[in-house]
Amino acid sequence: MHATLQAMVSMGLEVLLSVLLAATLVYCIVLERRLASVRKGQDGLKRMIGDLNGAIANAGASLRALKMAAGEAAETLDDRLRRARALSDELSLLTNSGERIAQRFDRAVPMAQQSSSPLPSGSVMNRLKAVR
């Protein structure tokens, strides 16, 4: 009887160990699948990080090119502004000089002659004032 009891306990332990071993095997399979999906996600993440690094490098190069183009445009604009101011100053001087000459001509003409036939400089001055 003792041998039978011992055989039954031994058999029960073997069944229990078999059930635990089967549960461990199922758990290992599930764990392997999860690890495989994590590895796939990690590979995708590595690719995504590489793509992001490339995009950042391209953006940096584009930004440097844009800064260079903006600098060149600013230099061109500054040069054109300098020339425009110089031309504006020169035109202002010429206009003022023309007005002074026209005024001298108008003063040089006697009053009687001015009323009968006005000098052309007077009409030029009137046109200049109308343009302003």
pLDDT digits (tens, 9 = 90+) for 59-87: 999 999 999 999 999 999 999 999 999 99
pLDDT given for residue 119 in this prediction: 52
Task: Quote the CA–CA distance of 118 and 126 in Å, as a whole number.
Answer: 12
The confidence band for 110, taking pLDDT boundaries of 50, 70 and 90, is low
pLDDT given for residue 112 in this prediction: 43
Percent of the chain with pLDDT over 70: 81
Q: Pick 109 or 108 by higher pLDDT.
A: 108
Q: For residue 121, give every residue at least 6 positions away whose Cβ sits within 8 Å of its Cβ, in sequence order, or none.
A: 101, 102, 105, 106
pLDDT given for residue 88 in this prediction: 93
92-95 — which CB contacts under 8 Å span 24+ positions? Answer: 95/128
Q: What does the chain come to in residues?
A: 132
